[in-house]
Structure 1
Amino acid sequence: MYMPRANEETRLDIMHALVADHPLGALVRMGDDGLVADHIPFEIAAPTPDAPFGVLRAHVARGNPLWRNDGAQVMVLFQGPASYITPELYEEKARSGKVVPTWNYAVVHAHGKLRAIDDREWVLDFVRRLTNRHEAGRATPWQVSDAPQEYTDALLKAIVGIEIPIQRLEGKWKISQNRSAEDYARMAAGLAYTGSGAPLAQLMREWHPAA
């Protein structure tokens, strides 16, 4: 990934937070006919001795050939807030007009080797955690145990766990760090009032609280 120094994010907690908030990753691997991508919701866990940047965990359908690529080198892409930036938000527009639009975004790329985990108890524990996390904000959270036992047992046979110990983690926050403080504040304020731009405005203000 092209990485100007101003856009590089290296703080592990910040990158983990983006993955936790935007868990649908695009897992890219080399298939028989070239590059293949699978879109999968992940859990990210703390670093371990063999995973210095954390561990990604997920599950896939048994019919998906992905899990049979045990030991394969893979990359998982996570897309955070993103938005079009209009030149109307730059002070330079009024002075000279020498401005153009851009696109701001935050992304994380995780690299590591795939591990397949064909273990019923591991998968059951994982889907319970994943479900509990995403149901936590509901008034009456659904739980795996709410489904009939025989139904759950049948579904568990149809899925396989995967795990990726992260060996390299790249974070790119392209959020107009090259602009003046005035432009940066104007962008954050302008984005805050648009539906698609509000999450990016929040991220920009977290990165630069004065905005």
Structure 2
Amino acid sequence: MYMPRANEETRIDVMHALVAEHPLGALVRVGDNGLDADHIPFEIAAPTPDAPFGVLRAHVARGNPLWREDGAQVMVLFQGPAFYITPELYEEKARSGKVVPTWNYAVVHAHGKLRTIDDPQWVLDLVQRLTNRHEGGRATPWQVSDAPQEYVDTLLKAIVGIEIPIARLEGKWKISQNRSAQDYARMAAGLAGTEGGAPLARLMEQWHSAA
């Protein structure tokens, strides 16, 4: 990934937070037909001695050939907030007109070797954690135990666990760090007033506060 120094994010906790908030990753590998990608919701766990940047865990359908690629080198892409930036938000637009549009975004790329875990209890524990996390904000959260046990047992046989100890983690926050403080504030305020741009505005404000 092209990485200008101003856009590089190296804080593990910040990258983990983006993955946790945007858990649907695109897992890329080299398959029989060349590059292939699977879109999978992951959980991210803290670093371990064998995984200095954390561990990604998920499950896939048994019919998906991905789980048979045990040991394969893979990359998982996570897309955070992103939005179009209009030149109208730059002070220079009124002075000289020498500005152009751009696109701001935050992404994380995780690299590592795929591990297959064909263990029903491991998969059940994972499914329960994922369910509890994503149902936690609901007034009446659904739980795996709400489904009939025989039904759950049948479904567990149809899925396989995977995990990826992360050997390399890259974060790119392209959020106009090269602009002036005035432009940065104008962009954040302008984005905050739009439905699609509000998440990016919050990310920009968080970055500016921590910088």
- The corresponding residue for 1:184 is 184
SS at the partner of 1:179?
A: coil
| Shift of residue 105, structure 1, vs aligned partner | 0.1
- Could you tell me the TM-score, scaled by structure 2's length? 0.99
- The corresponding residue for 2:161 is 161
1:182-207 Cα deviation digits (max 9, x unpaired) = 00000000000111100000000000
**Alpha-carbon distance in structure 1 between the residues aligned to 2:97 and 2:82:** 25
**Alpha-carbon distance in structure 2 between the residues aligned to 1:78 and 1:2:** 16
1:136-191 Cα deviation digits (max 9, x unpaired) = 00111100000001100000000000000000000000000000000000000000
- Could you tell me the TM-score, scaled by structure 1's length? 0.99
**Alpha-carbon distance in structure 2 between the residues aligned to 1:48 and 1:91:** 47
- The corresponding residue for 2:14 is 14
**Alpha-carbon distance in structure 2 between the residues aligned to 1:133 and 1:203:** 22
| Shift of residue 51, structure 1, vs aligned partner | 0.2
| Shift of residue 209, structure 1, vs aligned partner | 2.7
- The corresponding residue for 2:111 is 111
**Alpha-carbon distance in structure 2 between the residues aligned to 1:183 and 1:190:** 10
One-letter amino acid of the structure 2 residue matched with residue 131 of structure 1: T
- The corresponding residue for 1:76 is 76
**Alpha-carbon distance in structure 2 between the residues aligned to 1:4 and 1:111:** 20
SS at the partner of 2:209?
A: coil
**Alpha-carbon distance in structure 2 between the residues aligned to 1:58 and 1:33:** 24
**Alpha-carbon distance in structure 1 between the residues aligned to 2:189 and 2:153:** 50
**Alpha-carbon distance in structure 2 between the residues aligned to 1:194 and 1:50:** 43
| Shift of residue 27, structure 1, vs aligned partner | 0.1
- The corresponding residue for 1:5 is 5
1:103-137 Cα deviation digits (max 9, x unpaired) = 00000000000000000000000000000000000
Q: Does 1:126 align with 2:123?
A: no
**Alpha-carbon distance in structure 2 between the residues aligned to 1:141 and 1:186:** 39
1:74-114 Cα deviation digits (max 9, x unpaired) = 00000000000000000000000000000000000000000
Q: Residues 45-56 of structure 1: matches in 2 within 5 Å?
A: 45-56=45-56
**Alpha-carbon distance in structure 2 between the residues aligned to 1:113 and 1:33:** 20
**Alpha-carbon distance in structure 1 between the residues aligned to 2:63 and 2:87:** 48
**Alpha-carbon distance in structure 2 between the residues aligned to 1:187 and 1:120:** 49
**Alpha-carbon distance in structure 2 between the residues aligned to 1:160 and 1:97:** 56
**Alpha-carbon distance in structure 1 between the residues aligned to 2:9 and 2:134:** 26
**Alpha-carbon distance in structure 2 between the residues aligned to 1:49 and 1:13:** 17
One-letter amino acid of the structure 1 residue matched with residue 85 of structure 2: I
- Number of paired residues? 211
**Two-structure CA RMSD over aligned residues (Å):** 1.0
**Alpha-carbon distance in structure 2 between the residues aligned to 1:98 and 1:209:** 29
